[in-house]
Amino acid sequence: MATKIVISKVSEPYADALLELAKANNCVDAITADVNDLLTFLTSVPLLASYFENPVISMANKKELVNTVMGSKLNPYMLKFLQFLIDRRRIAFFETIGERYLELVYEFADIKVVTVKTVVPLSYRQERRIIRELKEFTSAKEIRLIREVDKSILGGLVIKIDSQVIDISLKGQLRQISSSLDTTLVF
């Protein structure tokens, strides 16, 4: 846990700097797309993250890899930012920097990230209705849904917005009934 806090503290100023760079150069959308792509790429190719974390591999080799593999696909400011992280020996923290950057961008653009748990996948129509209701509820310009299928909720849905949880699941209702009856039921 302490390590996560330290990594978070190290990552925060870099995420702030990347957002300021993107805003100053009117390329927030391009940088955000690059960050999303890089995070997906690092998740799908774990060896790449290990490569960047390895202190034995020289900064020159890491820069060469970034330039060769990603150079032509990235916004020039993003490429320079990655090279800067390599120079500062902070490239191993890119995942947390990228995640924090996305949080800051969503805040800046008034976008709420909402997790919705259901028993079965939502239909397109259901998603649109939930998004419409959540926009009204949160006053956000845009809602990004993270969909999770969780059969243990038995029915209904559980919505998580920031630290607020709205439980309108069958399991949650049964739990409420159980507690009002002062009995313990296990589901």
Distance CA 26, CA 154 (A): 46
69 and 99 inside one domain: yes
H or E segment to which residue 146 belongs: strand 142-149
Q: What is the pLDDT of residues 153-183, one digit of tens each?
A: 999 999 999 889 999 999 988 888 888 776 5
pLDDT at 74 over 50: yes
> Band of the pLDDT at 1, cuts 50, 70, 90?
very low
Instruction: Indicate if 13 and 98 belong to the same structural domain.
Output: yes
| Same domain (yes/no): 99, 23 | yes
Q: How many domains does the chain have?
A: 2
- The SS3 assignment for 20 reads helix
Which residue type is seen at 57? I
Average pLDDT rounded to a whole number, residues 81-91: 94
State pTM to two decimals: 0.73
Mean pLDDT, to the nearest integer, of 129-134? 93
Q: What is the mean pLDDT of residues 137-148?
A: 90
CATH code assigned at 33: 1.10.520.20
Last residue of a domain, one of 56, 90, 107: 107
pLDDT grade for 5, boundaries at 50, 70 and 90? low
CB-CB contact of 139 with 112 (8 Å): no
Spell out the alpha helix ranges (H) of 54-118. 59-65, 76-87, 94-108
Question: Quick check: helix, strand or coil at residue 109?
Answer: coil
Strand partners, 147: 116
Structural domain that includes position 65: 8-107
Identify whether 3 is part of a domain.
no
